[in-house]
Amino acid sequence: MSSSSLPSSQKQVHLLKRPGRAPLSTEILNVVTAPLPDVSNLASGHVFLKTHFLSLDPSMRPSMDPSKKSYRPPAPLNETFWAGGVGTVIKSNHPEYKEGELVLSSAFGAQEYADMDVAATQRNGFFYKIDPAKGIEPREYLGGLWGTGLAAYLGMKEIAKVKKGDRVLVSGAAGATGGLAIQIARQLGASYIVGVAGGPGKAKYVVEELGADECIDYREANFEKQIASLSDRPEGGMDVYFDNVGGQTLDAALLAMNPNGRIACCGAISGYGGSYEGLKNSFVIVARRLTLQGYIAIGTFWPQDVYQAAIAQLATWLAEKKIATRFHFYEKVGVENFLDALKALFEGKNWGKMLLQVDPEWKGEGSKSAAK
């Protein structure tokens, strides 16, 4: 697409109200039509991009509300809601980016087009070219090579320090991060892996496709007992717990741990829409000398060499097909479906990494257009 064939306006999704504990609705997050900026006067160092698809992330929910104490700054009201994505440069006033190049950025926002200051975006997040010659699909840049893959890798390798023979428990196991965490734990030598996921279909998928040895369905009434009793096995309990969920699942997982067990606290999705539940079994942390450590995958929290090694290892495993991201493009195309796609993520409708195709003309692998 050339800049001369651009429309005069675009759809954006704005945060209109802080949700508190209210369910997400169009009163909170809704579509507005806004004029397209004048790209003939693009500021120096800026690029103008067409959004192809966006990542849907659980951390979007707590970022809507300062009271949720998210690791992201609260999203501003009446502005385009944040979202990472993949898109094409339509117009550039930056020496390193040319029209037609595909880029990944954490700063697309939930909109059809984005005017982006490259240096500012790189300081606060991600902006880089997707090189088709590397043979990695563009969508993988929002999966295995993005916050999802990094969260799974850094949590297993650097925080929980998984080693050969470890017995590993993973919650949110059928999701994007959990699914990769299982595969990465196996690559690091875990001998027995137990997933926790919602529903019998997902539990089967976690075992048969992601390679866990068993999976507990947390929608079953006695799921906490099932998790806690993992430590009663003759072969011992769990050495590592990769926690995506928090709340009751974390509380039960404490009882499943072996002495000196390591817990990587990656997320607490069970509390994102309501309240974070307290722990009843916290004394087990003392009694079994457990280590719990939280961490954030994206940002300046990691030494550059650790970060670069993580990206290199993920890229190698992906290219060698030792790990794979399962993608879930939301059923409908268009940024106006952003709210419904986010709601679907919290209802557990996604199997793997949830993406929303924004551009109906995008024909890349996995897109709705490619599937036709």
Q: Which residues bind ligand NAP (CB under 6 A)?
A: 57-59, 147-148, 151, 172, 174-178, 197-198, 202, 244-245, 266-270, 295-297, 345-346, 348, 350, 354
Nearer to ligand NAP, 109 or 246 (CB): 246
* H/E element, 151: helix 147-153
Q: Residue holding tokens 């997320």? A: 267
Nearer to ligand NAP, 39 or 84 (CB): 84
Residue 151: CB minimum distance to ligand NAP, A: 3
Residue 343: CB minimum distance to ligand NAP, A: 11
The Cα 188–Cα 161 span in angstroms is: 9
Residue 230: CB minimum distance to ligand NAP, A: 18
Residue 84: CB minimum distance to ligand NAP, A: 11
Nearer to ligand NAP, 253 or 354 (CB): 354
Residue 280: CB minimum distance to ligand NAP, A: 17
Torsion of the alpha carbons at 91, 96, 101 and 105, rounded to the nearest 10: -90
Nearer to ligand NAP, 260 or 275 (CB): 275
Q: How many Cα atoms sit within 13 Å of 254 on the Cβ side?
A: 20
Name which of 108, 98, 162 is nearest 338 in CA terms. 108
Distances, alpha carbon 244 to alpha carbons 156, 157, 174, 179, 224, in Å = 12, 16, 11, 11, 16
Residue 156: CB minimum distance to ligand NAP, A: 12
Nearer to ligand NAP, 254 or 354 (CB): 354
E strand intervals along the chain? 9-15, 29-35, 46-55, 85-92, 102-105, 113-117, 127-129, 167-171, 192-197, 214-217, 238-243, 257-265, 291-294, 327-329, 353-357
Nearer to ligand NAP, 136 or 151 (CB): 151
The Cα 335–Cα 304 span in angstroms is: 34
Q: Answer yes or no: are the C-beta atoms of 180 and 323 closer than 8 Å.
A: yes
Residue 196: CB minimum distance to ligand NAP, A: 8
Nearer to ligand NAP, 327 or 362 (CB): 327
Please name the residues in contact with 181: beta carbons below 8 A apart, sequence gap of 6 or more. Answer: 151, 152, 155, 156, 170, 173, 242, 244, 266
Report the sign of the C-alpha dihedral through residues 22, 27, 30, 34, in that order: negative
Residue 326: CB minimum distance to ligand NAP, A: 9
Nearer to ligand NAP, 189 or 200 (CB): 200
Rg for the chain (alpha carbons), in Å?
Answer: 21
At position 80, the amino acid (one-letter code) is: T
Burial 307-324 (b: 16+ CB within 10 A, else e): beebeebbbebbeeeebb
Nearer to ligand NAP, 58 or 261 (CB): 58
Residue 9: CB minimum distance to ligand NAP, A: 31
- Give the end-to-end CA distance of the chain in Å, rounded to a whole number: 22
